[in-house]
Structure 1
Amino acid sequence: MTIEKPLVLDVDGTFLRTDMLHENFWAGMGTAPLRTLLATLRHLRDPAALKAELVQIAPLRTDLLPVNAEVAELALQSRLAGREVVLASAGDRSLVARLAADYGFSERVFASDGVTNLKGPAKAKALVDAYGEGGFDYAGNGAVDIPVWEKAENALVVGHVPSARALAANGHNVVELPGGWTFRALLRAMRPHQWVKNVLLLLPMLASHRFGLDTLVPILWGMAAFSLAASTIYIANDLLDLEADRLHPTKCRRAFASGAVPIGVGMAAMVGLGAAALLIAVLLSPGFLLVTLLYMALSLAYSLRLKRTRWVDVTMLAALYTIRVVAGASAAAVEVSIYMLIFVFPIFFTLGCVKRITELSRATGNETLPGRGYGRADLADLRNVAGIGVVGALVIFLLYSVSDQGTTLYPTTWLLWAAMVPMAIWMVRMVNLAWHGRQDYDPIVFALRDPVGLGLLMLILSLMFWAAGLWQQWFG
């Protein structure tokens, strides 16, 4: 009876559509950021020791890690045919063994042990010692796997590996399997649809009635900087939320959670986008640079810790929206009224509650939302607090309408009072839609796509322009 040679699978980028070291690093950053950073600095030149320590800091749920469907199918068919399927990885042994158990592979695994980093030639030697040269088939995904492919009978190449072409030229049997990532998937991870939120930078220009190009152009550059900064934080947030996203019914399809884009690519994109945002900020003004740095720092703090704390998270969401208004004023050197900031904050606080109400309304169970501090039992409290935000915003707007600044900019006061009617309808409608689960997970994005809501916002703006005498000024 002929015994089939074992099928040996690399893990990172081959069986899995992710890298376990990167997974461990970001899991650690989400639970113990300082400890994770210190471990990384301490073992920067000793990857085997780094992997072993990161596993202790933040153990991974290997059953949630995304797999390469074609490689998984090959492994399944091999097992059904009675063939031994073995994992060989530079990942830490404890993780590789757990992953092998999750999928019913051989108990024998080849992996890093805290001392030896089982990669490239070291992996090739371990497999030859175990099975002999040509005594196994090997699936890998990078140039680092060439020493192993050279010792295998059949080389299974996952994705596009140009340097692997030399294997076929030298007489090796090479089989190519699908793999890799696309820029389009990375672009989705940057969430360009969220950039529409940066229209909030235009509010100071609208409120001060300064509509010249000398005001508009710097604000547009500011919107570009904030868009790049936001994408930086969205990527960081996705990397910190990998496990929570994989447990979510829709967020599990996000680029990094699903493995559509490698974490390493996301990290490089994050650095590039952040650098570009800060460069634009430097060119605009020192004040705008400080606002941009504050926005990025608070966003990162929110992603790392604050979003997991009840009520603090919605307060932070409101603060991040409000900072965009301050950024618009800073970019164009427009004075922003304290009344405006006090007015927009409760509106944004209400929208923060709307975001959580939507998530809870769409949740299928009563357990706490993954990575958040709320359960369905908090729905009524969130709605009540959102109602307080609505009332607070309307009261502040009323006080502004009779203030010295309000009467100077908007002489026809009763039109401002009239604008409070569609304003109240818009806010109450947003809360009601969230309560019935008919909102987008981001209320600002939803608001800018909702025809009825946009109609109400345009009516509010028209009444305010009328109160300011702008329609008469523009059209006679």
Structure 2
Amino acid sequence: MIYCVDLDGTLISNDMSVTSFFETILKKPQLIPACYRWHHEGGRARLKYNIGEIYNVDISRLKFNLELIDYLKELAENPDNSIYLVSGSTQSIVSKIASYFSFFKEGFGSSIDVNLTGKNKLALIKKYFGDSDVCYIGNARVDLKVWEGTHSGIVVSNCGSFISSAKKVTRIEKVFKGRFAHLNQEYISNKG
């Protein structure tokens, strides 16, 4: 089975687009005019991309869903399973986080032209994995579009009505609560 895991709000508590934007602007307020120009010229995808090229993610400061990480480690023990990080965050951020955990085969993130969320994320999944059985792991309303086109899903949410909405568009294999914590020494040593 192929598992595609969302990043923001699913694997980590942060929305890295928001985090990277505000942390970059706080450190370099002189970039505010450039941010306006990037958004005006290329929309959200270009703004996220340019910020992502400047921003250096510090994994030790992120809060992860440790229960989900444990589950992904178990899935990775089966050689028939392949696990990918697929996120609306920029490719540079996604690559750094995906490479931190050995269970991810690869990471796919937004580019300068494509904001990899919703229907764009589903299109990428279809492009790379065709008609293979894909289980998508997500947490937000925008993920409903992805679940509509995948074999099954895993939900990370504390909201009963959202879980019900997800069950209407795909077969839900499992539900994880949205509980997040910093990686402890066990996770740092083993790295998945």
User: TM over 0.5, yes or no?
Assistant: yes
Residue of structure 1 equivalent to 2:38: 43
Q: Structure 1 residues 48, 161: CA separation in 2 closer, same or farther (over 3 Å shift)? A: farther
Q: Which amino acid aligns with 1:38?
A: P
Residue of structure 2 equivalent to 1:53: 50
Q: Which amino acid aligns with 1:102?
A: Y
Q: SS in structure 2 opposite 1:43? A: helix
Q: Structure 1 residues 59, 103: CA separation in 2 closer, same or farther (over 3 Å shift)? A: same
Displacement of 1:99:
0.7
Q: Which amino acid aligns with 1:19?
A: D
Residue pairs, 1:101-116, within 5 angstroms: 101-116=99-114
Q: Structure 1 residues 29, 166: CA separation in 2 closer, same or farther (over 3 Å shift)? A: closer
Once the two structures are superposed, residues 378-433 of structure 1 have per-residue CA deviations (whole angstroms, 9 ceiling, x without a partner) of xxxxxxxxxxxxxxxxxxxxxxxxxxxxxxxxxxxxxxxxxxxxxxxxxxxxxxxx
Once the two structures are superposed, residues 320-372 of structure 1 have per-residue CA deviations (whole angstroms, 9 ceiling, x without a partner) of xxxxxxxxxxxxxxxxxxxxxxxxxxxxxxxxxxxxxxxxxxxxxxxxxxxxx
Q: Does 1:125 align with 2:123?
A: yes
Give the greater-gyration-radius structure (CA).
1
Residue pairs, 1:380-419, within 5 angstroms: none
Q: Does 1:72 align with 2:63?
A: no
In 1, Cα distance between the equivalents of 2:108 and 2:154? 18
Displacement of 1:54:
1.0
Q: Is the 8 A contact 1:70 1:177 kept in 2?
A: yes
Q: Does 1:29 align with 2:25?
A: yes
In 1, Cα distance between the equivalents of 2:16 and 2:132? 28
Q: Is the 8 A contact 2:5 2:138 kept in 1?
A: yes
Displacement of 1:124:
0.6
Residue pairs, 1:164-175, within 5 angstroms: 164-169=163-168, 172-175=171-174
Once the two structures are superposed, residues 264-286 of structure 1 have per-residue CA deviations (whole angstroms, 9 ceiling, x without a partner) of xxxxxxxxxxxxxxxxxxxxxxx
Q: Is the 8 A contact 2:7 2:86 kept in 1?
A: yes
Displacement of 1:134:
5.6
In 2, Cα distance between the equivalents of 1:58 and 1:18? 15
| 2:87 aligns with one of 86, 89, 101 | 89
Q: SS in structure 1 opposite 2:102? A: coil
Higher relative contact order (CA 8 A, sep 6+): 2
Q: SS in structure 2 opposite 1:86? A: strand
In 2, Cα distance between the equivalents of 1:25 and 1:171? 33
Displacement of 1:142:
0.5
Displacement of 1:39:
3.4
Q: SS in structure 2 opposite 1:156? A: strand
In 2, Cα distance between the equivalents of 1:111 and 1:75? 19
Residue of structure 1 equivalent to 2:185: none
Q: Which amino acid aligns with 1:7?
A: Y
Q: Output the aligned Cα RMSD.
A: 2.3
Displacement of 1:132:
2.6
In 2, Cα distance between the equivalents of 1:117 and 1:161? 28
Residue of structure 2 equivalent to 1:179: 178
Displacement of 1:115:
0.9
In 2, Cα distance between the equivalents of 1:170 and 1:11? 21
In 2, Cα distance between the equivalents of 1:98 and 1:24? 14
Residue of structure 1 equivalent to 2:189: none
In 2, Cα distance between the equivalents of 1:51 and 1:161? 31
Displacement of 1:167:
4.1
Q: Does 1:16 align with 2:12?
A: yes
Higher helix share: 1
Q: SS in structure 1 opposite 2:87? A: strand
Q: Is the 8 A contact 1:141 1:161 kept in 2?
A: no
Residue of structure 2 equivalent to 1:148: 146
Residue pairs, 1:295-306, within 5 angstroms: none
Higher strand share: 2
Runs of 4+ in 1 over 3 A off after TM superposition: none
Q: Is the 8 A contact 1:86 1:108 kept in 2?
A: yes
Displacement of 1:161:
6.3
Q: SS in structure 1 opposite 2:11? A: coil
Q: Is the 8 A contact 1:138 1:152 kept in 2?
A: yes
Q: Is the 8 A contact 2:147 2:169 kept in 1?
A: no
Residue of structure 2 equivalent to 1:470: none
Between the two proteins, the alignment pairs up a number of residues equal to: 177
Structure 1 gaps of 5+ residues are 182-245, 247-476
Identity, % of aligned pairs? Answer: 23
Q: Is the 8 A contact 2:148 2:169 kept in 1?
A: no
In 2, Cα distance between the equivalents of 1:81 and 1:6? 11
Under a length normalisation based on structure 1, what TM-score does the superposition of the two structures give?
0.35
